[in-house]
């Protein structure tokens, strides 16, 4: 589900928090993300936040907003890119 009635953001969209190691500090604008569905269609994700995890300077968090286009998917794969270099894909299950 990419939207919900019980939500923390006014738009009701689902966010996913990803954790990554060795992201360059201060280069949040260089970080992009995409999601891939079971039919191998890819969609860009809105990256809403990139920052260091408090007291863990080696770990970063990336918050992305899921798009409406994947609302019927059961599972998707998300990856981030830094200056065009892609990370491993992580599987995310979407529950109705």
- pLDDT number for residue 1: 45
Q: Is residue 88 part of a domain?
A: yes
Q: Is residue 4 part of a domain?
A: no
Average pLDDT over residues 66-84: 90
Q: Is residue 69 part of a domain?
A: yes
CATH number, domain with residue 27? 2.60.40.10
Q: Is residue 7 part of a domain?
A: no
Q: Which domain holds residue 32?
A: 15-93
Q: Give per-residue pLDDT as tens, 7-64.
A: 566 777 788 999 999 888 777 789 999 999 999 999 999 999 999 999 998 999 999 9
C-alpha 96/C-alpha 84 separation (Å) is: 32
Q: Is residue 1 part of a domain?
A: no
1 near 13, Cβ under 8 Å? no
91-to-5, 32, 47, 73 alpha-carbon distances in Å: 24, 17, 18, 12
Q: Is residue 2 part of a domain?
A: no
- pLDDT number for residue 7: 57
Q: How many domains does the chain have?
A: 1
Q: Is residue 52 part of a domain?
A: yes
How many Cβ atoms sit within 10 Å of the Cβ of residue 35?
23
DSSP string, 50-61: EEEETTEEEEEE
- pLDDT number for residue 34: 96
Q: Is residue 3 over pLDDT 60? A: no
């Amino acid at each position: 589900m990419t939207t919900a009635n019980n939500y923390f953001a006014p738009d009701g969209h689902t966010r996913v928090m990803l954790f990554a190691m060795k992201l360059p500090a201060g280069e949040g604008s260089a970080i992009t993300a995409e999601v891939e569905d079971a039919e191998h269609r890819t969609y860009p994700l809105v990256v809403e936040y990139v920052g260091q995890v408090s007291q863990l300077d080696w770990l970063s968090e990336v918050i992305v907003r899921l798009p409406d286009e994947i609302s019927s998917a059961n599972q998707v794969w998300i990856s981030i890119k830094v200056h065009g270099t892609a990370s491993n894909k992580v599987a995310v299950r979407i529950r109705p």
